[in-house]
Amino acid sequence: MHYESGVGHIGGNLSALDTILVLFHQVLMKEDDFVLSKGHAAGALYIALWSLGRLSDNELRSFHKDNTFLPGHPPFNKFEEISFSTGSLGHGFPLAAGIALANRIKNERGHVFCLTSDGEWEEGSNWETLLFASHHNLFNLTVLIDANGLQGFGTTGEVASLEPLTKKLKGFEIDLFETNGHNADDLRDIIIQSSSRMRIIILRTIKGHGISFMENKMHWHYLPLTEKQYSLALKEVEAS
C-alpha cells in the first residue's frame, strides 16, 4: 500500500500494527469503540479491516490516491469501525473519553479503546483529558500508548522527554500497565483483564518493526519506499 501510493508514515504503522490486529481479532466486541488517535497509522487500521474481510485487495490499492475512501488518516462516515476522523494529535483521547462518559450515562455496555502515540503525550490536551477521565472514573476506557521512542523531529527524549512515563502516570487514579507491544499473547492477556478503573497500557514498541533497515530510524516516520527498499523489505517479511 505505502510503496504503490508513494507515501510515508510506514514506521509508525509497523509499531502499531500488532496492537491493532490484537484488538480487532481478539478483543473488540460489536458494542465497543476504537479510536485511532495516532491517525497517521491509518494504513495499519485498514489492514486490520482487510484481514476481517471488510476491505478487498482492490480497495487497498486505492490507498492515498485520488477519489479514495482510504486516505492517509482515518475517514469518518465510511466504516462503522471508525468513529472519528483523527490525526491532529492530542484529539483522539478526548474524543474517546467523551464516548466512554456517554456510554456510562446511557448505561450502555461498550468499552472504548484509544491508541495514542508517545510523542502525542507532549500535547496538553491529553493531560487535561486524563484529569477528566480519572476524576469521572471512566472504567470503560482503555488508553494504549504506542511508545516507540521516536517522533517527527527526533526522539521523544530529545524533543520533550516524558520519561519515566510510568512514574508520571502513577499519580492518577488509574490502573497502569507496561508491556512489549509486539507480544500478542501478553498484550491480549493484559487488555482482557477486568478493572474498576480506567486503564492505561504503555506499549514498548519499535518504529519500523520487522524490517531491519527501518527499525528505530526516525526518518521512517516520513519517507516512502524506493523500489530497492521495497524489494528488500518483502524478502525480510517472507523470510520471517
22: domain CATH number is 3.40.50.970
Q: How confident is the model at residue 78 (pLDDT cuts 50, 70, 90)?
A: confident
What's the domain range around 188? Answer: 2-239
Position 33 scores a pLDDT of 97
Q: Residue 127 has what pLDDT?
A: 98
Q: What is the dihedral of CA 136, 148, 11, 239, to 10 degrees?
A: -120
* Residues above pLDDT 70, as percent of the chain: 100
The candidate with the shortest Cα–Cα distance to 78, out of 52, 112, 54, 111, is 54
Domain count, the chain: 1
**pLDDT of residue 77 exceeding 90:** no
Q: Are strands 150-151 and 154-155 parallel, antiparallel or unpaired?
A: antiparallel
pLDDT mean over 106-130 = 97
**Mean pLDDT, range 235-239, rounded to an integer:** 95
Q: Please confirm whether the linkage preceding 75 is cis (ω < 30° from 0).
A: no
Alpha-carbon span 104 to 116, nearest angstrom: 22
Mean pLDDT of 179-205: 96
Closest CA to 38 of 60, 20, 59, 56: 20
Quickly list H helices, 56-194.
57-60, 92-105, 124-135, 156-160, 165-169, 184-191
Q: What is the rounded average pLDDT of the residues 52-63? A: 96
Residues 176/203, Cβ–Cβ less than 8 Å: no
> 3-class secondary structure for 214-235?
CCCCHHHHCCCCCHHHHHHHHH
pLDDT band (50, 70, 90) for residue 73: very high
Q: What percentage of the chain has pLDDT greater than the value 90?
A: 95
The region of weakest confidence among 68-82, 103-117, 206-220 is 68-82
Q: Residue 160 pLDDT > 90, yes or no?
A: yes
Q: Looking at the predicted structure, is the pLDDT value of residue 153 above 90?
A: no
Quote the pLDDT of residue 7: 94
Quickly count: other Cβ atoms within 10 Å of residue 207's Cβ: 23
Predicted confidence at residue 87, as pLDDT, reads: 87
Query: What pLDDT, on the 0 to 100 scale, is given for residue 105?
Result: 97
Q: Is 67 helix (H, G, I), strand (E, B) or coil?
A: coil
Residue with cell 516516520: 221
**Does pLDDT of 192 surpass 90?**
yes
At CA 36, angle to CA 220 and CA 226, rounded to 5? 25
What's the sign of the alpha-carbon dihedral 201, 207, 209, 212?
negative
Task: State mean pLDDT over 37-58.
Answer: 97
Q: Give the helix/strand (H/E) hosting 155.
A: strand 154-155
